[in-house]
Amino acid sequence: MNVSEYIVKYLEDQGIEHAYVIVGGAALWICKALSHSEKLKYTFCNHEQAVVMAADGYARVSGKPGLAFVTNGPALTNTITGMAQAYVDSSPVILITGNSNSAHVHYELEHDIRQYGTQDVKTSRLMEPVTKKHYLLDDPAKTAGVIANAWQTASTGRPGPVCIEIPINIQGADCPCAYPPVFPQEEKKLPADNVKHVLEQLKQAKRPLVLAGQGIRLSDSVELFHEFIEKLDLPVVNSRMGIDTIESDNPYFVGRCGTHGSRPSHFAIETCDVMLVLGSHLAPNTTGYNVEVFSRQSHKILIECDPAELNKYGVRIDEAIEGDIHDFLTQACAYLQDAEYQAKHEKWVACCADWKKRYPIMLDEYRKDDVINSYDLVDTVSRLAGENDIAAADTGSSCSIVAQTWQVKKGQRVFISGGLSAMGFWATSIGHAEANRRRSNVICFTGDGCLQMNIQEFATLAAYRIPLKLFVLANDGYEFIRMSQGGYNINPPFGANIEDGVPIPKLQRIAEAYGLKYVHCSDPHALEDKVREVLAADEPVICEVDVETGIEVKPRIRSIANPDGTFRMPTYENLYPYLDEEVLAAELKKAYEE
């Protein structure tokens, strides 16, 4: 085998079934080897950003690294947004890129010149900030070690993307490595005393709470997590990335917290006495930007596999424990078979359930007779979606509204544009859909502004008949930007409306030009029937929904303007629209009543 054939065979043998590709001159032998694979299917996208985003989406659904193949230069630079997205959201992607002759690559690096040949860029310098590791495969004898190490790095510990750069003269060279490659794996286990100590604190607490993030999913621990909270009688608050770790009708689910969270979740966070953080790195969109006072009254325990995340800027962590969540939950659930470690917190669970019942996200005022409200749209799709469906949301108002409103059912997965919040995230759902293998619906929400960022991938949907159900919130531009500018008294909005020059073309014409089924809805009374039509289709559908403009995402953390033009942060427990101080005090007091 040559180097490229060796790498493709290794990826095949790991059970990977799909790759995302754009071919190029500096990746000839890699793409040739891929074309001869009998096990790896591939999708050709129309932009390298979408190649990586689709691979990211495939990884999040399949649980295995997503594969992306591109060439060098501008193709490589186009991948950076997708790689940064996978990096901050802890998604395992393996990007394989070609490059010029290895002598040219080394000459550029060693002499620090801007460029040696056409299309050359310093791949290592571009990739290092947005990957767990960059590999320059410049010697065929290193092939086995590089590919095995890259696989392990991407998929173990805190997952994330890696990049393998292979110069053109190396790709077709004979590979002298034995097959299969062997790479030792180190396994660390939490000391039993640490696990028992956490269990004891949760049992003795009067108002314990779990803040659940996507690390529970990434560590394949959802079933263990459910057993854990049931045996300890623990209410659960989700971070936005941890939406699908628990069903919305679960009696222990309180709500989703953060800058666009729910009142019940914030009440619980600000009154709990012990908080266990599992799988969340406590980003500001979870804690609010006044991080020093986040749940200041609670004793906070953090279980985290990434040592760099153990000491969070500004957030007081009382016990930071480095360890794998799956290992922690496995050991904890073993101990919890013994009644000695189990607990009951009936009054606290009932208090959280009462908050959840009385402060819903979906309000009657969102159901209108003359115009479709975005909350009503998401609520309708959520209600009609089936168990095991996949839902996703692009950035902007659609992201926040889906994160607040979507009611998670058994078996559903929910993905949002998380840490990077890139416009055009909807292309990630290409990978969601192909990994899903038509087992259920894949639904994605995007705005008419975000849609344009990867509009070229309509061609990919059409060519491969990828059955994505794409709901486009048509609100004449950038609704979230309008809301943000209005909050800071920037009026009229700048660069956020069609009438201001933001170019939003006619979607029906675009969909029809690409040969995609197009559905349009502007009547609230027809909304449910239109949604049913879209979900029943066995093909890609673009559903444009004319939604009310000028809406606010709420409740949310909103800065308060001072008379002198400065701003102050509100308390975490009082989301906008602000509750009367007496009402707020009475709600929080309920947590302490015996």
| Helices (H), ranges, 205-281 | 215-218, 222-232, 263-269
For the segment 541-551, the average pLDDT, to the nearest whole number, is 95
| Mean pLDDT value across residues 203-226 | 97
- Taking the C-alpha atoms of residue 335 and residue 190, their distance in angstroms, rounded to an integer, is 14
Taking 3-state DSSP, the helix, strand and coil percentages for the chain, each rounded to the nearest 5, stand at 45, 15, 40
What integer is the mean pLDDT of 552-580? Answer: 85
pLDDT score for 491: 78
pLDDT band of 455, cuts 50, 70, 90: very high
Q: Assess contact for 92 and 59: CB atoms under 8 A.
A: yes
Over residues 461-481, mean pLDDT: 93
Q: Is the pLDDT of residue 371 over 80?
A: yes
Q: Return the minimum-mean-pLDDT range out of 115-129, 463-477, 530-544.
A: 115-129
| For residue 555, cis peptide bond before it (omega within 30 degrees of 0) | yes
pLDDT of 365: 94
Q: Where are the domains positioned within the chain?
A: 3-171, 192-358, 364-546
Query: What share of the chain has pLDDT > 90, as a percent?
Result: 84
Q: How far, rounded to the nearest angstrom, does the alpha carbon of residue 459 sit from its chain's CA centroid? A: 24
Q: Cα 487 to the chain's mean position, in Å?
A: 26
Do the first three CATH levels of 3-171 and 364-546 match, i.e. the same topology? yes
Question: What is the domain class of 192-358 according to CATH?
Answer: alpha beta
Q: CA-CA distance, 273 to 286, in Å (whole number)?
A: 18
Residue 244 CB contacts under 8 Å (≥ 6 apart), including other chains: 217, 408, 412, 413, 414
Q: Which residues of 358-373 are buried (b: 16+ CB within 10 A; e: fewer)?
A: ebebbeeebeeeeebb
Q: What are phi and psi of 269, to 5 degrees?
A: -65, -35
What's the chain's average pLDDT? 94
Residues sharing a CB contact under 8 Å with residue 497, sequence separation 6 or more, in sequence order: 476, 477, 478, 482
Count of CB atoms situated within 10 Å of the CB of 564: 6
**The tokens of 23 are what?**
């071919």
* Least confidently predicted of 5-19, 52-66, 84-98, 183-197: 183-197
How far is Cα 448 from Cα 296, in angstroms, rounded to an integer? Answer: 40
Cα–Cα dist 493/495, whole Å: 7
Q: Which alpha helices (H) appear in 256-373, and where do they start and end?
A: 263-269, 284-287, 325-335, 346-358
The average pLDDT across 103-113 equals 90
Number of residues that make up the chain: 594
The pLDDT confidence band at residue 594, using thresholds 50, 70 and 90, is low
Residues forming beta bridges with residue 583, ordered by sequence position: none
- 3.30.1360.230, 3.40.50.970, 3.90.1150.60, 3.90.1720.10: which CATH number matches 3-171? 3.40.50.970
Omega of the bond leading into 577 within 30 degrees of 0 (cis): yes
pLDDT tens, residue by residue, 401-443: 999 999 999 999 999 988 899 999 999 999 999 999 989 999 9
pLDDT tens sequence across 135-192: 999 999 999 999 999 999 999 999 999 999 999 999 999 999 988 877 666 778 999 9
Task: Give yes or no for residue 280 having a pLDDT over 70.
Answer: yes
Choices 3.40.50.300, 3.20.10.10, 3.40.50.970, 3.30.160.110: CATH for 364-546: 3.40.50.970
Amino acid at 59: A
The whole model's pTM is what?
Answer: 0.94
Question: In this structure, are residues 280 and 239 in contact, taking their beta carbons and an 8 Å threshold?
Answer: yes
As a whole number of Å, the end-to-end CA separation of the chain is 72
Q: CA 310, CA 319: separation in Å to the nearest integer?
A: 9
Phi/psi at 590 (5° precision): -60, -30
Taking only the tens place, the pLDDT of each residue in 86-106 is 999 999 999 999 999 999 899
Task: Compute the distance between CA of residue 425 and CA of residue 457 in angstroms, rounded to an integer.
Answer: 11
Amino acid at site 430: I
Mean pLDDT across 196-200: 97
